[in-house]
Amino acid sequence: MPRRKATSPDPVPPNPSDYPCTFDPDLGVSERYQSLIQWLDEYGLETKVAKQLWIASGYLMPGKSTISIQGLHNNYTNHRPKYYKAKGVPVPVVDRLRKPGERRILGARDVKNPVSNEDIELFWANRRAEHVIAWYFRDENSMPNSDSNPPLLSKSAAYEHSRALRSILENDPNEHAIVVPKEVSRKTLGRFIQCISPELRAFPPTHDLETKTKLSDKVITAPIQWTHKALSELYHLSRNLGADDVCDMLTDYCWAQLKAGDFVTDATLFNKLAEDNDWPALNFWLDVMIACDTLDLKKQFKKRIWNESMKTALHSRLSEQGSRSALWCDEQSRFCEEYHHHAPEEGELCYIEKVSRQKEDFYDRAAMAKLADKLRLSDFIRNMQTKLMIARWTADKQGEVDAKEKLQKAEEILRKAAKIEQRKAALRQGGTSISRISTAVCSENAPSSSLGTNTPVMEVR
């Protein structure tokens, strides 16, 4: 007799009560979209499961019996930026490797993912800055080498985010070359540059980025495996350069990883923090050690791997019996007060707030980039930016002037097009019928021929 195929029972549809969500009416995002974002971001559910929850929650539009996966995804991508912007936090990158249904958001991307276009654009924005600092490493004789492709850092970012570099530039604004400390690797320096330039990051970079030559227009990428050693090296460099925001960001990143169960003791790091009297970071790690049941402190003492400064600090923290621990505190201000380097009482902002304010500019830039694509100006602008960068490096004054002029005219086109889009949006909101809005984007002072024969001049209709 032929065998009968085994049949599996129909899967039980998910119950919305198993995935509770919070609704904040002040965010300006409807309840259905807030739930969708939380299902996908915080619970890590698959879209097909979110679809079932969407239907079970009664979120379908009137007259509709279902919703497509693509439609659900569109709702997610359209409302997600507004949701996090209203919450005042950067759009998080979700750890998709966790078990579905486990509610957790981590700061780091899965390194298997390709580098984002945004990171590539930020990399070029730093290298194309008008004023940069070149970093040179030492050779085997401890002499600065003549690197033809040194790492570059925007001076404005250096001045804003590093006390040590700010002091150097205040002493000599024309300073354009710095010798890297011998213990700092090229990778660590590149990662530090990504953390602050052209803007501050909310999470460590996911990829190492560099070019093969100084004038190359292609980026070489490699995923970063964030080991404790790699994080420690980046932290020490940031600390030495007075980049407190980067230090605090790394502390928060480590805490996210620790909560995920990834904890390895690092005596070298702890000893260094104690020697440098870096109390915010040291208190964080001391509280982590005290809170971790897996760590046998007595055995650590017997191994004599800690210096006297570290032992003294640990004894002092233990005597407080965790009364000052802010690890599990829900208030960000309390965590900042105990483990961050900025001083809230003096009005100093946390890096989280700084990044949030940067996002306002990011959304404006993203809108302009989308408009540039619409006008088919993106490739032209990138080419002119590359020509401008090469002209500066090769001391081609005329080439620099020409590239600047063409970029200015392209930007003028974008500004005029943006105004037209704003007028059209205002008319739509006012309920006025728009049969035709036809306005030449370029003025007589910026004809298409001045941008190049292949640059289109769009007429917005």
AA letter at 444:
E
Task: Find out whether 67 and 54 touch, Cβ atoms under 8 Å.
Answer: yes
Eight-state DSSP code of residue 144: B
Under 8 Å between Cβ of 63 and 73: no
Distance CA 43, CA 218 (A): 37
- Dihedral over alpha carbons 49, 53, 54, 55 (to 10 degrees): 110
Cα gap 105→95, rounded to integer Å: 6
Rounded CA-CA distance 92/70 in Å is 22
Q: Among the CATH numbers 3.30.450.20, 3.30.930.10, 3.30.710.10, 3.30.565.10, which is that of 108-243?
A: 3.30.710.10
What element of type H or E holds 9?
Answer: none
Strand partners, 221: 209
Query: From CA 362, how far away is CA 357, in angstroms rounded?
Result: 9
pLDDT score, position 265:
60
111's CB contacts (< 8 A; 6+ apart) are 206, 207, 223, 224, 225
Question: Looking at the whole model, is its pTM more than 0.85?
Answer: no
Q: How far apart are CA 279 and CA 286, in angstroms?
A: 10
Question: CA-to-CA distance for 342 and 347, rounded, in angstroms?
Answer: 9
Domain boundaries, the chain: 16-87, 108-243, 368-460
Q: What is the pLDDT of residue 151?
A: 95
Structural element, H or E, at residue 440: strand 439-440
pLDDT tens by residue, the chain, 461 residues? 443 444 444 567 788 888 888 888 888 899 999 999 988 877 778 778 889 999 999 999 888 888 888 788 778 878 888 888 787 766 665 543 334 444 333 333 334 457 888 889 899 989 988 899 999 998 777 777 778 899 999 999 999 999 999 999 999 999 999 999 888 999 999 999 999 999 999 899 999 999 988 878 789 999 998 888 899 999 999 999 999 999 999 999 988 887 766 556 677 888 899 999 999 999 998 888 877 654 455 555 555 577 888 888 888 887 776 556 788 776 778 888 889 999 876 778 999 888 877 765 555 665 677 777 778 887 787 777 777 767 766 778 888 888 888 888 887 888 888 778 777 777 766 554 444 433 433 443 343 444 444 443 333 33
SS3 317: helix
Contact 160, 199 (CB under 8 A): no
pLDDT at position 196, please?
97
Q: Name residues whose C-beta falls within 8 Å of residue 429's C-beta, 6 or more positions apart in sequence.
A: none
Q: Which residues pair with 390 in a beta bridge?
A: none
Question: Which tokens go with 362?
Answer: 């990011």
pLDDT of residue 445: 38
For position 428, what pLDDT does the model report?
67
What are residue 459's DSSP bridge partners? 440
Identify which of 59, 54, 72 has the alpha carbon closest to the alpha carbon of residue 16: 54
Distances (CA, A) of 325 to 280, 335, 350: 12, 9, 19
d(Cα 385, Cα 10) in Å, to the nearest integer? 58
Predicted pLDDT of residue 458: 36
